[in-house]
Structure 1
Amino acid sequence: MTWTVPTLGVEEEFFVVDDLGRLSGQGAALAGEADEHDGSVQQELNRCQVESATGICRTAGEVLTQLRELRQGLAVAAARRGTRILPSGTPVVAEDGPATVTPHPRYERMAKHFGATLRGVTTCGCHVHVAIPDRERGVQVIDQVRPWLPALLALTANSPLDTGYRTGYHSWRHLQWIRWPTAGAPPRFGSLDRYEELVDELLRTGAALDRAMVYWDVRLSDDLPTVEFRVSDVAATPEDATLLAVLVRALVTTALDTADAGTKPPELPSEVLRARLWQAAHGGLTGGLVHPVTGELTSARAVVGDLLARLRPALSAADDLDFALDQWAALRERGGGAARQLAALGRRRRTTDVADLLAVVPTAATVPER
């Protein structure tokens, strides 16, 4: 078994909030003012959001360092404007009205075409890109990794609240996000030709206005030579996000090896995968999942543990194994992002406490007085 370690990169979306955790419309301003370090920062669909992206990374250490620096750059720029950066999949504190769209021709076209769907979906995710040899091989990766997408969602579930109320889910972002007609569980494609046929059909119906609006939980990137995993909430911490990233990379290399060995992708209907993703969104790491291999109902933590064991050779080849084991142990100890949000809410029943828990504290630079 030969393991070629691909490069990777991580994109994170954040809410911009005020001192009380309410959404602030200063995302575009922060995108222009934050220190980008070795990555990049850009405006997002809604005024209350901002997105960061690492550069091309080769090691877990590079990913973690860049994620920390990007969050710090945004936190410092936010503090200068009297705002904060909040890594949560959905808004935490009650709002007076819906978020407003960032002035941009593409976003304004989306708002006109999709109406209330766009206005009702205010979420923040984490996207992991992993380099692939070519697009045909990328489709093979997608087909092989589909059964493990619920485990990745459970691992990063970080949105149990929505504008001030408990949703009853650990990833409410997932339930909100799949309101887009192109979002959610990807089908089993079988070939690049079939992938492109389905993308063309989505464009023809108007369910997607352009190729960037094909929102499957894992897809081919049209701008980069990568496969992009989009299933996850934005992680509560850079450590959680980096753990996700190294597991995703190991999944990709393992999938390529499995495809090269002639192993056919699992027979998993999209309807069943959609139900399993709902299950992961409902319970997060504290719930149960149908095990992708045994088909038995198993604790989510056990499924993630089995995934890590399955990926052990690929993690070792990338020199990611010790990091993954340490971070998985730490995550089990402190609980997932959703569990930590709910614990913070439970102490005093104040959503502002949750915002305080999540907000990125600027420590990397001095914030001047306003």
Structure 2
Amino acid sequence: MVITSEAVGAATRTLTMGVEEEFLLVNRAGGDLSLCGPEITGLLGDERVKTEVMRYQLETVTGVCGCPEEAGGQLLELRRRAAAAAAETGCLLLASGVAPQRLPGEPAVTPDPRYRELDRRFGRLLARTGTCGCHVHVGIPSREVGVQVLTRMRPWLATLLAVSANSPIANGHDTGWESTRYKRWTRWPSAMAPRVWRSAADYDAAVCRLIRRGKAIDERGVYFHARLSCRYPTVELRVMDTGLSIDDTVLVTGLARTLVGLALAELRAGEPIRRIGDMRVAAALNAAARHGLGALTRDPYTGRVVNHERMLATLLDRVADPGPIAGLLQRFRERGTGAARQRAMWAAAGSPQEFARMMADATLRRG
């Protein structure tokens, strides 16, 4: 059965979205991580800019948006507000999946009861992680539909990761990975791709099992790469690194929305789910984290082994009006991935301080 591109377009146009971005804070003078997150959120007093687990992190949260361009406007405003407040404390705001320099040796957990419980239960793991992701929420009509969408998203998670990869530098050197964040993040016992669940009840049972077995402290701590939000009527796509520039995040927001629209169109048409084993999904994600867009995966429609550039072309073929996404992708190809641009800055920088300043400048750019 063939799903028309018009059906995909109709399913996509009505979808709302929201975006959460996580950032690093570094000292302007030395380029090392700064523990000023709570101080900065106190200065701002803006509920859209929040503390994160570690004091060297901040999170920004957009409102509900009707299109990726609207999200882009909010993302720009929030990054500028957070960066301006950081500057008042002598800090820079950096959009990177992991800290380029070493993590701090001193305790860095934000003084919040939930984060302290995470520290008590997973302290050693927490101290070695400190990652920053981009989470895109896309509205869904019901949790039952959401579970079906999650299953249909499984073949596309590695493509979203490859596009968003933005963490090649860690501990003061090039790791050889496009997304070191993914490598670290998957140390968490609940950080995995969604399974093939038949119903929302099956999904809830899987969440409860992880909590009961001590692999998460609560529902929010179940870190599926795509999940049902426990706070909003959305599916939450969490596999992506924080985008280096605003346009990087606008692109993955548009891709996420389009993929959810594709899943909804297939579901409404009664198209069977293309079943891909858990090990194959995990292998594709690991390859995307290591090799980025050139990594190999399996096209869910043809079964052929292809790279993620080909997967993006397949997606465009199934969209009624590919112009907006195609334009974002063309500009993305011209500027390169976040990982490639980080490496170029790392090679050009004469010191950690200069690299931090270059990263901070890129964080506030559109392109």
Q: What TM-score comes out, normalization by structure 1 length? A: 0.90
Match of 1:30 among 33, 40, 63: 40
CA distance in 2, matches of 1:156, 1:84: 22
Amino acid at match of 1:322: G
Change (3 A) 1:54 1:201: same
Q: Gapped runs of 5+ residues in structure 2?
A: 1-6
**1:134 is the counterpart of 2:134:** no
Change (3 A) 1:322 1:51: same
Match of 1:243 among 251, 262, 275: 251
Are the counterparts in 2 of residues 86 and 359 from structure 1 also a CA contact under 8 Å?
Answer: yes
CA distance in 1, matches of 2:276, 2:202: 17
Which residue does the alignment assign to 2:80?
72
Which residue does the alignment assign to 2:23?
14
Shift of 1:308: 3.0
Q: Deviations over 1:235-293 (max 9, x none)?
A: 01111101111111111121111112112221111111111000100011344444333
Which moved further from structure 2: 2-11 or 205-214? 2-11
Shift of 1:109: 0.8
Local SS of the residue matching 1:176: helix
Which moved further from structure 2: 188-197 or 209-218? 188-197
Amino acid at match of 1:27: G
Matched ranges for 1:42-57 at <5 A: 42-57=50-65
CA distance in 1, matches of 2:154, 2:245: 25
**1:279 is the counterpart of 2:287:** yes
Match of 2:184 among 173, 176, 191: 176
Identity level (%): 39
Which moved further from structure 2: 72-81 or 342-351? 342-351
Amino acid at match of 2:329: W
Are the counterparts in 1 of residues 55 and 110 from structure 2 also a CA contact under 8 Å?
Answer: yes
Are the counterparts in 1 of residues 33 and 104 from structure 2 also a CA contact under 8 Å?
Answer: no
Which moved further from structure 2: 347-356 or 74-83? 347-356
Local SS of the residue matching 1:115: helix
Change (3 A) 1:266 1:18: same
Which residue does the alignment assign to 1:296?
304
Change (3 A) 1:267 1:343: same
Which residue does the alignment assign to 2:91?
83
Are the counterparts in 1 of residues 245 and 363 from structure 2 also a CA contact under 8 Å?
Answer: no
Which residue does the alignment assign to 2:155?
147
Amino acid at match of 2:330: A
Match of 1:121 among 119, 129, 132: 129
Change (3 A) 1:256 1:334: same
Are the counterparts in 2 of residues 99 and 122 from structure 1 also a CA contact under 8 Å?
Answer: no
Shift of 1:344: 1.7
Change (3 A) 1:138 1:97: same
Are the counterparts in 2 of residues 199 and 214 from structure 1 also a CA contact under 8 Å?
Answer: yes
Matched ranges for 1:164-313 at <5 A: 164-310=172-318, 312-313=319-320
Which moved further from structure 2: 288-297 or 184-193? 288-297
Which moved further from structure 2: 57-66 or 132-141? 57-66
Which residue does the alignment assign to 1:368?
none
Q: Deviations over 1:302-324 (max 9, x none)?
A: 322322333x22xx3xxxx4332
Which moved further from structure 2: 182-191 or 291-300? 291-300
Local SS of the residue matching 2:357: helix
Are the counterparts in 2 of residues 234 and 241 from structure 1 also a CA contact under 8 Å?
Answer: yes
Shift of 1:198: 0.6
Local SS of the residue matching 2:238: strand
CA distance in 1, matches of 2:113, 2:360: 31
Runs of 4+ in structure 1 deviating by more than 4 angstroms, as ranges, are 348-353, 360-364
Which residue does the alignment assign to 2:4?
none
**1:330 is the counterpart of 2:331:** yes
**1:41 is the counterpart of 2:41:** no
What value does the CA root-mean-square deviation take over the aligned residues?
Answer: 2.0
Match of 1:60 among 57, 63, 68: 68
Which moved further from structure 2: 96-105 or 232-241? 96-105
Local SS of the residue matching 1:144: helix
**How many pairs were matched up?**
355
Q: Gapped runs of 5+ residues in structure 1?
A: 365-370
Are the counterparts in 2 of residues 218 and 230 from structure 1 also a CA contact under 8 Å?
Answer: yes
CA distance in 1, matches of 2:64, 2:199: 27
